[in-house]
Amino acid sequence: MEASDEALLAGLAAGDADAAAAFVRRFQRRVYGLALTILREPGAAEDAAQEAFLRAWRHAETYDPRRGRVLNWLLGIARNVAIDAVRLKRAEPVDPETLAATVLERGDADPGDVPGFADRQRLREAMRALPADQRRALFLSAYLGRTANEIGVLEDIPLGTAKTRIRSAMLRVRAELGVADGH
Amino acid sequence: MGTDADCHEVRGLTAEVALGVADGEDRARVLDHVVDCSECRHELEDLTALADDLVVLAPEHEPPLGFELRTVRGLQPKRRRRRRWRIPAVAFAAAALAATTATASVLFLVRDDRRLAGEYRATLSEANGTAFRAVPLRDTAGGKAGTAFVYEGAPSWMLVTVDSSSPASQAELVTRDGRTVSLPAFTLSSRSWGGVLPLDARQVAAIHLLDATGRSVLVAYLPDSW
């Protein structure tokens, strides 16, 4: 029987070498994929993905299953590592339209085997339905860690407008998903 | 419970806090408020869950070959010498006997450790070998899907067995200095395959079994020293 994500994380925290290997094997494509999406450069993405696993190992005991799945927790770490790397390199910010195209146009590799595939497709559709300016603001903050202030500068809009775009996008997507759920 | 004005101000910030892009002052303001305001707390929880889901949309991507090995090595605490010393005397001997009789299943009989160690040494000496190791083969989900038996000698060789049908038809070794070495194509007849290695087995850090497209479907890691 296949070990659960939580069991592997517990094994990782306890220093179990087999659990560590299984944990990396299970999540490496997702962690590396997210790092590559943000950093756009394979070498930097590999460094970031390795660092994300290292931080997950060091802080495994902080994972709280009530606050979300192991995958979400791990990808949250990977996102932060990749954003730090972007800031450290002072790299040109990725064009949010390119980012959106990468994330929204490419689906999961093998939908039949991927848990949560339908939920992710609905989320993609809700993101596609956003007005372009709100979608850009949401991608800049969710994937690149840009603050409202930075988005204001990048998009050449007032701070208040940037804040409104972020919030409106989030509420709109949430409402779309809520309607689809029948809430 | 906050006032309507408090809630209005906080609701203007919850999305940024959920996305992790609020500054420290705004974040503190929101977190302080939601302690006593259940409506704003629910909104923050909803938006935080949504923000977490957004990054899950990023497409998967196969990392470079050797990524797993390099990453796993960084995650392993230093082993205790005593523990490593005790396991091989029994486990290795049993694995060696099983592999050499080509049954590919470990028939572990209760024997005296000393006698097993003697048989182990005799098996190794057949090809000037010094070590034999069995390591788990893992599938893409991290589950154990078989075993790789690796013999260090002249020549070094390996035998892999899988627990169920597998699309693996090629093998690639990752060496300790980061090189990749391709092995000839094979078929997993009777769910096993074996062959001579073109290098010393101790130089092998990982064994990847690949499908016809070259994607790694099973992997086994060898410890740094054995």
From chain B, pick out residues whose CB is under 8 angstroms from the CB of A41. Answer: none
Mean of the per-residue pLDDT values for chain B? 78
Of B53, B59, B67, Cβ closest to residue A102:
B59
Q: Do B142 and A8 touch (CB under 8 A)?
A: yes
Q: Which of B14, B54, B133, B216 is most worth mutating to test chain A (most A CB atoms within 10 A of its CB)?
A: B54
Which has the minimum average pLDDT: A35-44, A128-137, A172-181, B54-63? Answer: A172-181
Query: What gap in Å lies between CA A20 and CA A17, rounded to an integer?
Result: 5
pTM value?
0.65
pLDDT of residue B16: 96
More confident residue, B168 or A90: B168
- Residue A94 CA to residue A38 CA, distance in Å, equals 8
B58 vs A contacts (CB less than 8 Å): 30, 33-34, 37-38, 75, 102-103, 143
Residues 6+ apart with CB under 8 A from A4: none
On whether the CB atoms of residues A31 and A74 are closer than 8 A, the answer is yes
- 3-state SS, one letter per residue, for chain A: CCCCHHHHHHHHHCCCHHHHHHHHHHHHHHHHHHHHHHHCCHHHHHHHHHHHHHHHHHCHHHCCHHHCCHHHHHHHHHHHHHHHHHHHHCCCCCCHHHHHHHHHHCCCCCHHHCCCHHHHHHHHHHHHCCCHHHHHHHHHHHCCCCCHHHHHHHHCCCHHHHHHHHHHHHHHHHHHHHHHHCC
CA-closest candidate to residue A104, choices A68, A73, A135: A135
What average pLDDT score do residues A17-44 get?
93
Average pLDDT over residues A7-25: 90
Worst-scoring range by mean pLDDT, A146-160, B60-74, B202-216?
A: B202-216
What is the ipTM score, two decimals?
Answer: 0.88
Residues A49-96 have pLDDT tens digits of 999 999 999 998 888 888 889 999 999 999 999 999 988 876 676 788
What does the alpha-carbon distance between residue A25 and residue B68 come to, in Å, rounded to a whole number? 7
Is 80 exceeded by the pLDDT of residue B195?
yes
In the predicted model, what is the mean pLDDT of chain A? 88
- The average pLDDT across B106-131 equals 62
Q: What stretch of H or E contains B150?
A: strand B144-152
- Quick one: which H or E segment has residue B104? none
pLDDT at B114: 62
Using an 8 Å Cβ cutoff, are A103 and A143 in contact?
Answer: yes
Average pLDDT over residues B166-189: 81
Looking at residues B125-154, what average pLDDT do you find? 81
Asked if residues B95 and B132 have their Cβ atoms less than 8 Å apart, the reply is yes
Burial of A33 (0-12, 13-18, 19+ CB in 10 A): buried
A6's CB contacts (< 8 A; 6+ apart) are A65, A70
Cβ distance B173 to B206 under 8 Å? yes
Residue B174 pairs with which residues in a beta bridge? Answer: B180, B206
Instruction: Name, in order, each residue with C-beta under 8 angstroms of B65's C-beta and a sequence gap of 6 or more.
Output: B172, B174, B180, B208, B216
